[in-house]
């Protein structure tokens, strides 16, 4: 299976309670995972290193958008999915997702429903 051209970008600080479950669920799909650690003092960074393709350090400046943009700059793909550590992917229709990426190249800011992505389950 070819790599899906989407980078999942996550900013984290002291999220050891949540980040492993978030990353474990993402790891089963062929997505790039980039984590920006904003100064964790727990084992968040160590957990992220086990699952993420890239773990980068961001000096927190009280600006979530700056942290998200910093993380996105380290992504290898043009399509970015921004998640928080306590958000978990339940199921991803990778075939439908790839179909939509190919059909909508260059379109940004578009969110598709499960039905539009070829998922007939309600």
pLDDT per residue, tens digit, the chain (122 aa), is 347 889 999 999 999 999 999 999 999 998 999 999 999 999 999 999 999 999 999 999 999 999 999 999 999 998 899 999 999 999 999 888 888 888 888 776 655 554 454 544 43
Is 24 within 8 Å of 48 (Cβ atoms)? Answer: no
- 75 and 111: one domain? no
Residue 29's domain spans which residues?
6-90
52, 80: one domain: yes
Same domain, 96 and 84: no
Q: Map tokens 């928080």 to a residue.
A: 84
1 found inside a domain: no
Residues 72, 121 within the same domain: no
The enclosing domain of 16 has a CATH number of 3.90.550.10
26 and 78 belong to one structural domain: yes
Distance CA 63, CA 88 (A): 23
Distance CA 67, CA 98 (A): 28
pTM exceeding the 0.95 threshold for the entire prediction: no
Based on the fold, state whether residues 81 and 53 are members of the same structural domain. yes
Handedness of CA 46, 83, 32, 120 (dihedral sign): positive
């Amino acid at each position: 299976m070819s790599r899906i051209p989407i980078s999942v970008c996550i900013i984290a600080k002291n999220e050891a309670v949540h980040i492993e479950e978030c990353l474990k669920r993402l790891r089963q799909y062929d997505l790039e995972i980039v984590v920006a650690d904003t100064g964790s003092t727990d084992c968040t960074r160590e957990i992220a290193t086990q699952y993420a393709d890239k773990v980068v350090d961001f000096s927190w400046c009280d600006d979530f958008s700056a942290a998200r943009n910093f993380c996105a700059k380290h992504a290898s793909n043009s399509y970015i999915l921004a998640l928080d550590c306590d958000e978990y992917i339940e199921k991803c229709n990778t075939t439908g997702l790839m179909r939509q990426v190919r059909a909508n190249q260059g379109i940004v800011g578009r969110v598709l429903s499960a039905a539009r992505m070829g998922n007939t389950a309600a």
